[in-house]
Amino acid sequence: MKFFKVKAPCYYALIAASNEEECADLYEQVVADIEDREEFFRCLQSLDQNEAIEENAETISEKTLEPIGMEESTKEIFSIIDEQKSYVLSIDSALV
């Protein structure tokens, strides 16, 4: 499982996917339409497991309106790795 951070000018997202194509498909399903796939792929930044945990830890919980923190983030990332499931971990707050 790979982790991708989608950066500007695209809407922010943190996505776990097996490859860039699957990441793009998930992004279109959950976040926003992709008008230019080449531009989208330029917005992708590949993250290692530790970077994904740190990035995810800053995700704001819908329940508490606080960052989820390192402990919850670590559990979530390892669950995704164990289950090998593709997942959108967080999206741009402007879209929520």
Q: Please tell me the predicted confidence (pLDDT) of residue 95.
A: 83
pLDDT in tens, 13-63: 999 999 999 999 999 999 999 999 999 999 999 999 999 999 999 998 888
CB atoms within 10 A of CB 33: 6
Residue 93: pLDDT above 90? no
Q: Please tell me the predicted confidence (pLDDT) of residue 89.
A: 95
| Mean pLDDT to the nearest integer, 64-69 | 93
Could you state, in order of their start, the residue ranges of all structural domains in the chain? Answer: 2-95
Residue 6: pLDDT above 80? yes
Q: In what order do the strands lie in the sheet with 44-47?
A: 44-47, 2-6, 13-17, 87-91
Residue 96: pLDDT above 80? no
